Amino acid sequence: MRFRPRLLALVLLSLTAVIFIHNKVMTYYTGRSPETTVAYKEYTDPTATIKPFYGHPSLMPYEDFFVPGKNTTFSLDYNFSLDGSKICKDEDPYMVIFILSLHDKTAQRAAIRQTWGSVATSNRWPGTTFTPIIKIVFLFGVHPIDILNEIVRKESGIHNDIVQADFVDAYANLTLKVLMGFKWMTSYCPKTKFVMKTDEDSFIVLPKLVRKLESVSMDNSILGPYVFAEGIAPYGKHKLEKEEYPLAFYPPHCKGNMYVMSSNLATKIRLVANHFKYFRIEDVFITGILAKVFDVRHINLKDSEYHKFKVASACELLTGSVILSQKISEIRQYQIWQTFQNKILCS
C-alpha cells in the first residue's frame, strides 16, 4: 500500500510534533525538587534548543509575568543628598558591599567599621594576606526626623562610607534602597567587579567569600543563600495580596541577608526594575523576579558555609567553612573579631 506524498508528510509532521511535545514536557517536569537544582544552576549547554524551565512548575504558564513592560511604573530619579563620591575616587575595588542600615544604629555601624569592615580602610585581615580592594557603603533614605539625618551626615563627614538618597527611608522601600545603591555604583564606582548586599547584623569572613567567588563562575549568576521554590507567606510582614503577586510560588531567589552579583548584572537589573510594578519584598524582586528576566542562575551557599537557622560561633567563623552569620549584635562583632586576632581562643 502506497502513501500519498501529502499523507506521508502529514504523518511525519504529526510524529515530530508528538516527540517534540513529549521531550518538552519531560524537560519541564522532571527534576523539580530542591535536591536536584544543581542541574538548573549549572545549566550551560549552548547546543540545547529548549532550555529547562528554572523554577517551580506552577510558574510555567505565567512566564509573561517575568517580562518587563514598555512603560515605567515607579521612579528611580532620586538625588543623592550624601553622594559618597570619595569612596571609590582613587581605587577601583574588587567588590562594593552595600549595607542596609537604620539611622539610629550608630553603634552597629561603628562595630562593622572596626571589625570585618575595617578592610575597607586597612586592606588587612588578621592572619592572612588580603589583597582585594573592598569598599563598604552604608545605604540610607531620608528619615522623617531630621535629627537622625544629621547623625548620618556627621558620620559621613568622618568616615566617607555613607550614601543617602532623597526617598523616605522605610521598610517598604528596601527594594528602592538597594536599587539606588546599584544606581550609585554605576555613577560613582562603575569599575567594581562585584556588588554585594547585606544587613548590618551580619559578620562576613571576607577572605572566605573572595575564595568562594573565585572558585565558581559568576557569569550571569547570583551567589547567596538560595531558595528554589518558596510559597507565598500566608501572614506576617511578607504576606501579599493577589494584586501584589498573583502566583503561588516565588521564582528561585537568594535570601536577603546576603547576595553577590557582578556589577554588570546589577546594572541590567536596575535598568529593567521600574518596568515592573514595584515589589516591596526586596530579595524576591531583585534576585528572583528581575533576575528571571535575564535567565540568571543562583549559586547556593552550602549548609557548612551558612547556617540558616542558627548563629555561627566565633570559632566556626574562624576555623570552619562558615562564610557569613547573621543576627550578630555590635558587642558580638567585637568578640568575634577578637577571636580572629587571637586564634588561640579556638585551639
| Model confidence band, residue 50 (pLDDT cutoffs 50, 70, 90) | low
Which residues, at least 6 apart from 237, have a Cβ–Cβ distance to it below 8 Å? 171
Q: What's 85's DSSP letter? A: T
| Percent of residues, the chain, with pLDDT higher than 90 | 71
- Report the candidate in 173, 215, 220, 222 with the shortest Cα–Cα distance to residue 196: 222
Pairing of strands 134-142, 162-168: parallel
Query: CB of 339 within 8 A of CB of 203?
Result: no
What's the mean pLDDT when you consider all of the chain? 87
CA distance 78 to 184: 10
Strand-strand pairing, 95-100 and 194-199: parallel
User: Is the pTM of the predicted complex or chain greater than 0.95?
Assistant: no
Residue 248's pLDDT is 92
3-class DSSP assignment, residue 272: helix
DSSP structure string for 18-73 = HHHHHHHHHHHHSS-SGGGTHHHHS---TT-SSPPP-S-GGGGGGGGGGS--SS--
The fraction of the chain above a pLDDT of 70, given in percent, is 85
Query: How many C-beta atoms lie closer than 10 Å to residue 204's C-beta?
Result: 25
Q: How far is the C-alpha of 73 from the C-alpha of 289, rounded, in Å?
A: 15
Q: Which amino acid is present at 341?
A: Q
The answer to whether 58 touches 247, Cβ cutoff 8 Å, is: yes
Residues 314-334: what's their mean pLDDT?
Answer: 95
Question: What are the helix (H) ranges across 131-255?
Answer: 146-159, 174-188, 206-215
| Residue that the C-alpha cell 562576613 belongs to | 204
Of 160, 221, 174, the closest CA to residue 194 belongs to: 221
pLDDT interval class at 18 (50, 70, 90): very low
Give the torsion sign (CA, 298, 304, 308, 311).
negative
> Which residues lie closer than 8 Å to 322 by C-beta, 6 or more apart?
205, 208, 304, 305, 306, 307, 312, 316
Q: DSSP code of 233?
A: P
What per-residue confidence (pLDDT) applies to 38? 31
Q: How far apart are CA 87 and CA 328, in angstroms?
A: 25
Q: What are the tens digits of pLDDT across the range 157-183? A: 999 999 999 999 999 999 999 999 999
pLDDT at 49 over 80: no
At 71-118, the pLDDT tens digits run 999 999 999 999 999 999 888 999 999 999 999 999 999 999 999 999
pLDDT value of position 36:
27
pLDDT tens string 197-248: 999 999 999 999 999 999 999 999 999 999 998 988 887 788 888 888 999 9
109 with 156: CB under 8 angstroms?
no
State the cell numbers at 43.
Answer: 545549566
Backbone angles phi, psi at 258, to 5 degrees: -170, 125
Under CATH, what is the fold of the domain 80-302?
Answer: Spore Coat Polysaccharide Biosynthesis Protein SpsA; Chain A (3.90.550)
C-beta of residue 125 within 8 angstroms of C-beta of residue 197: no
